Structure 1
Amino acid sequence: MYATKCLLSALMISMWVDKGQACDTFTDLHLHHAIVGTDVDVRLLLYSRANPSCGRRIAHSAPPNMNLSLPTTFIIHGFRPTGAPPVWLLPMAGLVLAREDRNVVVVDWNNGATNIDYFRSVRNTRATAANLTAFIRTMEEHGASLASIHMIGISLGAHISGFVGAELNGTIGRITGLDAAGPMFAGKPPEDCLDKTDAQFVDVIHTDIDALGLREPLGHIDFYPNGGADQEGCPKSILSGSSYFKCDHQRSVFLFKESLQGVCEIRAFPCATYDEFLDARCTDCTQFGTQGCPVFGYDVVAWKDSLLRLGQTKYFFNTNGNKPFCKTNFRLNIMTWNQEVQWGYITIKLSGKNQSAKATIDHKKLKFEKYTETQLLAQFDGDVETVEKMSVTFSSAIVLGPKHKLRVLRLRLQRLEGSDRPLCRYDLLLKEKEEITFRPIPCLESNF
């Protein structure tokens, strides 16, 4: 329902464009410019609900021609090795406007970002930040509240946001860093990269920590989808071409865009490491009160007070490889009574009312001991509101040798979001690679 309302809102406001006035557009450069190299020339393009698809260039030298009683969002792109305009930029501006009535300013620093020499673009981030800082100070002089400013920076744009915030002594309301650039910034002190002191609230997403992004936490909350490195659905081989290099990095943008659309909620869980998260050792959300664990993305600011109080920065979640990216989280507890220790993997399928979902728990070989409960994190690729049937498959992943069996004394499945009563099955025999289907029953009270 919420997604439908957003869509209708976007469609309605798109009808308000003043078609009689020419629009200012993002600078479109080419490979020639990248080879020659470009110098900094910052252009600010204003989008509003009155003109959601038509940018109006804002002059730097005059009072801002914008409604300064409204909050303002700045969207700042990153390195542009070919000079082409980012395809996600204007859609993201439109999604922000569909969510809230505010000024959206696209920071076009394509002249400065377009270079085959990445290091030159890095140097240009400081001049770009100085230009933007001067403009925001002009906004403040004419009545704008710095606390109502939200900066969304992608890659190098994340660090530009940080430099601006630092110059304004951390008074900006919020900075969102989408996979802040790693090369030339890893290991740098806080003053030389995005840092949690740069705004009143800093949220960061890490999707390429082993290549183009940064591994270390930078904000008040740092999200690490799929552990922060290899993203589901992205190419695993260099034979895939340029997508192999940029897919993980760009996933931060598409995840954030989906959070704006309100398609579904992605809950993130505080944990010291990704492995502990996968082992279901970080599923307790009681520290956040009735709100539960934070929702990733645009709406995480609703958890600001709790996050500032708790101080924990690393939060993990897994995603699907394609839209919708969100998964449904369950805690799975299995108690077995095999005489010998068994090792293997578990796959579970849920179905009911024309819905189905699947979870494969294979991040490591699982250990099943007699009368010892094994706790697992089961993340399903969809949601089944009312589970009518459940299928379970056990695999030891042993190619040669006898087929193994897993004798289950009790299987218990508990949804992590919501208050649904856990589902159970008792006395179950799982044969190697044979799918067993059954109707689960509500767990007995003694098993809560």
Structure 2
Amino acid sequence: MKTLLFLLCISVCSATAVPLKNAEINYPRFIKYSDYDGVMHTLDLEEQPDTTLLEDIYRNPDNNRYLLYTRDNPLVSQTLGFNNTNSIILSKFDARKPIVVIVHGWLSDKHANSNIALTEVFLRKSNVNVIVMEWRRLASSNYVTATAGVPAVGRRLGEFLKFLHSVTGAPYETMHLIGFSLGAHVVGNSGRQLGGKVARVTGLDPAGPLWNLNRDRLRSSDGIYVEAIHTDGGVLGLGIGSAVADADFFPNGGNSQPGCLTSFCNHERAWQLFASSVTYNHFLGRECSNMLQVSLNSCRGKILNMGNDDLRKKGTGLYRLNTQRSYPY
């Protein structure tokens, strides 16, 4: 119960259009947004958590599914089971190849556009194992409940990867964990469960509401290199507006994106930009001294590529870049 109460706390600060570092945005209780189909959704930050579901998730987190895609089965997945050695040995998983783990966000499942697009671009780019983790049962609950259950889901993913390592010998240094929205905090907790040993952790517009001062959020120690791409970090944005990683990128300032008229569009642009970067590696971020420079587009520091699939990537700092309104951006 103490954990739940902590997750529901929001500290109040002055609202600002400039992304904040280590501060909690004063979100209103209700955040309304429209998806690509024009369907309106309401996020209620004071909604009561489903304690029955949470207790079950913490007792039995194996509702998650681990779906393997390779170049031999790019469209039809194979299910890998936690503590099920045969499911791994008899699958097309190849421990000699890098491992890309993709985790969707709130109100999504294995069919999320982010999962489909990222699986396709990674398999087209190189011969890798792609594992899509579906956590639909919790992700389909109300936002407060899903937020409270993220640490348990993330830890279980970490335990699954530890099991995968023990069965196949697949090195942690060949693993890249990628999460969108709430999924970004899931992969953060997963990397933390593995002692920060995985090569890369990438947060695609990590969820903002209830997360700015949350101790379970994505952070720089969750992997050897941790990167975050912020695209909807404004006062009413769905993404976190603060720096959380080794390297934090703020495309177009990190609040709104060219061609987008809704918060949902801004939010999803993070995975769209990342998918494009895997193919082209063409986004050049310029380092900024502070968040004001990010907002004013006055950054003059060193250059670091945003995104891509480089498992040996390194970098630290805040970065600004400008993109176009349509693919490849």
Band the TM-score falls in, shorter-chain normalisation: 0.7 to 0.9
For residues 309 and 284 of structure 2, the distance between their equivalents in structure 1, rounded to whole angstroms, comes to: 11
Matched-pair contact (CA < 8 Å) for 1:274–1:316: no
| Equivalent residue for 1:314, pick from 285, 305, 318 | 318
Shift of the alpha carbon at 1:261? 2.5
| Equivalent residue for 1:294, pick from 267, 287, 304 | 304
Shift of the alpha carbon at 1:294? 1.5
Alignment partner, residue 276 of structure 1: 293
Alignment partner, residue 254 of structure 1: 272
Alignment partner, residue 231 of structure 1: 257
Matched-pair contact (CA < 8 Å) for 2:279–2:308: no
Alignment partner, residue 99 of structure 1: 125
1:120-269 counterparts in 2 under 5 A? Answer: 120-142=145-167, 143-189=169-215, 192-210=216-234, 211-235=237-261, 244-262=262-280, 265-269=282-286
Higher relative contact order (CA 8 A, sep 6+): 2
Shift of the alpha carbon at 1:184? 1.3
- Counterpart amino acid of 2:65? R
Query: Structure 1 pair 224/43, CA: closer, same or farther in 2 (3 Å)?
Result: same
User: 1:267-323 CA deviation, whole Å, 9 max, x = no partner?
Assistant: 1000124653687753354xxxxxxx222111465651xx2xxx4x10001111222
Q: Which has more radius of gyration?
A: 1
- Counterpart amino acid of 1:295? N
User: 1:11-39 CA deviation, whole Å, 9 max, x = no partner?
Assistant: xxxxxxxxxxxxxxxxxxxx9xxxxx877
- Structure 1 unaligned regions, length at least 5: 1-30, 32-36, 236-243, 286-292, 326-448
User: 1:221-273 CA deviation, whole Å, 9 max, x = no partner?
Assistant: 100011110111111xxxxxxxx2311111101111111222x7121000124
Mapped pair 1:78 → 2:100: no
When the two structures are superposed, what TM-score results if normalisation uses the length of structure 1?
0.55
For residues 280 and 231 of structure 1, the distance between their equivalents in structure 2, rounded to whole angstroms, comes to: 14
Query: Structure 1 pair 174/255, CA: closer, same or farther in 2 (3 Å)?
Result: same
Query: Structure 1 pair 300/277, CA: closer, same or farther in 2 (3 Å)?
Result: farther
3-state SS of paired residue (1:88): helix
1:415-434 counterparts in 2 under 5 A? Answer: none
User: 1:73-106 CA deviation, whole Å, 9 max, x = no partner?
Assistant: 100001017x683123122112111112111000
For residues 301 and 144 of structure 1, the distance between their equivalents in structure 2, rounded to whole angstroms, comes to: 14
Higher-strand-fraction structure = 1
Mapped pair 1:111 → 2:137: yes
For residues 299 and 157 of structure 2, the distance between their equivalents in structure 1, rounded to whole angstroms, comes to: 40
3-state SS of paired residue (2:144): helix
Query: Structure 1 pair 298/284, CA: closer, same or farther in 2 (3 Å)?
Result: same
3-state SS of paired residue (2:134): strand
For residues 96 and 269 of structure 2, the distance between their equivalents in structure 1, rounded to whole angstroms, comes to: 33
User: 1:51-71 CA deviation, whole Å, 9 max, x = no partner?
Assistant: 111111112222223222222
For residues 303 and 109 of structure 1, the distance between their equivalents in structure 2, rounded to whole angstroms, comes to: 28
- Counterpart amino acid of 2:224? Q
Query: Structure 1 pair 316/127, CA: closer, same or farther in 2 (3 Å)?
Result: same
For residues 275 and 319 of structure 1, the distance between their equivalents in structure 2, rounded to whole angstroms, comes to: 19
- Counterpart amino acid of 2:155? A
1:4-23 counterparts in 2 under 5 A? Answer: none
- Counterpart amino acid of 2:283? I
3-state SS of paired residue (2:177): strand
| Equivalent residue for 2:72, pick from 50, 53, 70 | 50
3-state SS of paired residue (2:132): strand
3-state SS of paired residue (2:76): coil
Q: State the percentage of identical aligned residues.
A: 30
Query: Structure 1 pair 206/167, CA: closer, same or farther in 2 (3 Å)?
Result: same
Shift of the alpha carbon at 1:130? 2.8
Shift of the alpha carbon at 1:144? 1.5
Matched-pair contact (CA < 8 Å) for 2:69–2:77: yes
For residues 199 and 208 of structure 1, the distance between their equivalents in structure 2, rounded to whole angstroms, comes to: 24
For residues 162 and 52 of structure 1, the distance between their equivalents in structure 2, rounded to whole angstroms, comes to: 26
For residues 162 and 313 of structure 2, the distance between their equivalents in structure 1, rounded to whole angstroms, comes to: 28
Matched-pair contact (CA < 8 Å) for 1:294–1:300: no
- Counterpart amino acid of 1:269? R
Alignment partner, residue 37 of structure 2: none
3-state SS of paired residue (1:44): strand
- Structure 2 unaligned regions, length at least 5: 1-40, 42-49, 58-62
Q: State the Cα RMSD in Å.
A: 2.4
- Counterpart amino acid of 2:286? F
Alignment partner, residue 69 of structure 1: 96
